[in-house]
Each structure stands twice: as structure tokens, then as C-alpha cells.
Amino acid sequence: QEPTDFSKGVDDSWHPAGEKEFKEAVGEKKIKFKQWNGLQLYCDDAKLFTALSKALDKAWPEGTKLLSGSPFPKGMHVRIVALKSAESLKAYWEIVKQGAKQLHTAPPPEALYSGLLKAGSTRWNLPPTVLLRPGRVSSSAAPTRAVHDLGVLMASWSCSYSGYGSPEFLAEGFAGMLERRSVKKPAAIVSHEK
């Protein structure tokens, strides 16, 4: 299968277009939504939304400054989604898989979804997505986790046209730098098992 040509930008119309559409797509009544230029946050918990917003208000501009702009193709958004309900997460997982299909890439494996339900977070490069499950990832660790995974995605996309194949030390180092610059008291997180 031919990789998508991102040189002319990305058609992001496969994703629900805003707060109302997102609520309908995942079956939630209360969703908080915030958008930066190239980054979107969806969250079903008001307190967590505030904490994530504060961290991302610092992380996104800092990351784009360090990289001399967004590393993502024109029209592509990074999405950070925090949902408590396994059913809502599953509905959103199907949206991410549809996005991968539209972008002519492999969908995320179901093992990542299972890991999200158990561990509380996961990410996927194409479409660039960070998923959090409040309750499984603590509210004190969630901002660190969101910023960390955003940093990994930014570093990966700055090295590769599809976000895959970047050196792990570079992605993890950039993510750690963003954490230190964006989260007041970063939580100790372990990114990789063992």
C-alpha cells in the first residue's frame, strides 16, 4: 500500500468536527473541548480538563518553538482524549481506526486498546493520538502523561514523515524536556514495561 503523500496537507474530515459531534460519536453528554493551532483536547471530567489544559497551554507552544513550528502536516491535528467510560473509549478507538484507514496506514493493534483499559494511557502515531482513561491513570499523573506522549509524537514526527522510526532516546528525551518545562510537579511515569 502506498503511503499517504502529506506534502499537500491532510484531510482531517474523518474526525468529529467539534464538541457536539464528538459527544454524539462517543456517546457522552458532557465533554469539554479546547483547541490550539494543531492540537485538540477532549475530556469528560471538568477538573482533569483544567489540569490538562494548563499543562498543554505550556507544552504545545514550547514544543513548536523548540522544533521551529509544528512537525505535523498541514491540516493534521494531534488529539488528546481523556474518557472514563470503556464504552466511550471503544467508540473513539473505532474513530482512530477509521482515521488510520483514511490515512492509508495500519490501524492501531487491539493490544494497545487493552493496555489503555488496564494501564490508563496509550498513544498512536498516525493519526497522532493520545488516549487517557481517568481512574486508571491518576489525575495527578495525567498531565505528565499527556505532555510526555505529546512530546514523543512531536519528536517522532520531526524525524519522520509518518511519525515512525525515530530514535527512542530522542523521542523520550524531548518528551522529558517538555515535561520539565510544562508540568509544575511532573509525576514519575514509566513509559515502557520492564
Greater confidence (191 vs 119) lies with 119
Q: What is the pLDDT of residues 32-63, one digit of tens each?
A: 999 999 999 999 999 999 999 999 999 999 99
Q: What is the structure's pLDDT at 90?
A: 93
- Kindly indicate the confidence band of residue 125, based on its pLDDT and cuts at 50, 70 and 90: confident
Torsion of CA 133, 136, 142, 145, to 10 degrees: -90
Average pLDDT score over residue span 139-162 = 86
> How far is residue 115 from each of residues 83, 131, 144, measured CA to CA in Å?
15, 11, 18
SS3 40: strand
Alpha helices, DSSP H only, in the chain? 19-26, 46-66, 86-102, 110-119, 142-159, 168-182
Is residue 116 scored above 80 in pLDDT?
yes
Pairing mode, if any, of strands 121-124 and 129-132? antiparallel
Q: What is the pLDDT of residues 55-75, one digit of tens each?
A: 999 999 999 999 888 998 888
7, HSE (Cβ side, Cα atoms, 13 Å)? 2
Q: Does the reported pTM lie above 0.85?
A: yes
**Are 150 and 80 within 8 A, CB to CB?**
yes
Is residue 192 scored above 80 in pLDDT?
no
Q: How far apart are CA 147 and CA 181, in angstroms?
A: 10
- Kindly indicate the confidence band of residue 161, based on its pLDDT and cuts at 50, 70 and 90: low
